[in-house]
């Protein structure tokens, strides 16, 4: 009997947590992707003005001094190809596919997407993705997706040398052209 009451208590506790997480309340009405019923909803951008929009995102990848030393003289070639060049291509491809990966993102025809990779001593790289579109919605998710997938590609291509690689500080650095601009102070 005691086992049943503990199990019932766990189920009741989980049900209460689920209800609290998905219960419509005043906070949900402030979230743009939650409809009045508390269900996920795509934002209607039909009434928005078409403007030039830009977003820049950054990811920091700690490779460790050993791997970083290998890339100091230039791009590190691996059996899968040159690491940085492959990561840049992967980041651009991912930015173009963001709406296929993030359920409520609007599909966008990007005007431009550029990635850069900078070596930062003593043991890291900074990947920066800048996405541009002329449209009714921003490109923050595309820039974040591009930087994230480029970082994941670097990890994938370097993991044979070390599993201590850390992807950190994926963040929006700047966005312009929408209702409000944002610039992260470094």
pLDDT of residue 30: 75
Tens place of pLDDT per residue across the chain (186 aa): 455 555 444 444 444 333 334 444 444 347 777 888 888 888 888 888 899 999 999 999 999 988 888 876 566 767 777 889 999 999 999 999 999 999 999 999 999 999 999 999 889 999 999 999 999 999 999 999 999 999 999 999 999 889 999 999 999 999 999 888 999 987
Q: Is residue 136 helix, strand or coil?
A: coil
Assign residue 81 a region: left if phi > 0, alpha if psi is -120 to 50, beta otherwise? left
Domains and CATH numbers, the chain: 1-41 (no CATH), 51-183 (3.30.70.640)
Helix ranges, the chain (H)? 2-22, 65-71, 83-96, 98-101, 140-158
User: Which of 156, 164, 181, 186 does the annotation list as catalytic?
Assistant: 156
pLDDT of residue 128: 98
pLDDT of residue 6: 54
The CA distances from residue 55 to 61, 101, 113, 177, in Å, are 20, 18, 10, 9
Is 156 an active-site residue?
A: yes
């Amino acid at each position: 009997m005691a086992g049943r009451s503990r199990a019932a208590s766990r189920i009741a506790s989980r049900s209460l947590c689920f209800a609290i997480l998905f219960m419509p309340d005043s906070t949900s009405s402030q979230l743009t992707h939650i409809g009045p019923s508390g269900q996920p909803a795509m934002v209607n951008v039909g009434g928005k003005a078409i403007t030039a929009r830009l977003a820049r995102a950054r990811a920091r990848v700690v490779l460790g001094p050993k791997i970083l030393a290998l890339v100091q003289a230039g791009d590190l070639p691996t059996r899968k190809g040159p690491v940085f060049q492959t990561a840049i291509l992967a980041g651009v491809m991912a930015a173009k596919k963001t709406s296929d990966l993030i359920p409520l993102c609007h599909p966008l025809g990007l005007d431009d997407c550029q990635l850069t990779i900078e070596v930062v001593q003593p043991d890291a790289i900074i990947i920066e993705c800048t996405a541009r579109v002329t449209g009714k919605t921003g490109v923050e998710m595309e820039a974040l997706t591009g930087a994230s997938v480029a970082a994941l590609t670097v990890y994938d291509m370097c993991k044979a040398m070390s599993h201590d690689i850390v992807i950190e500080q994926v963040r929006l650095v700047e966005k312009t052209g929408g209702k409000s601009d944002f610039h992260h102070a470094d």
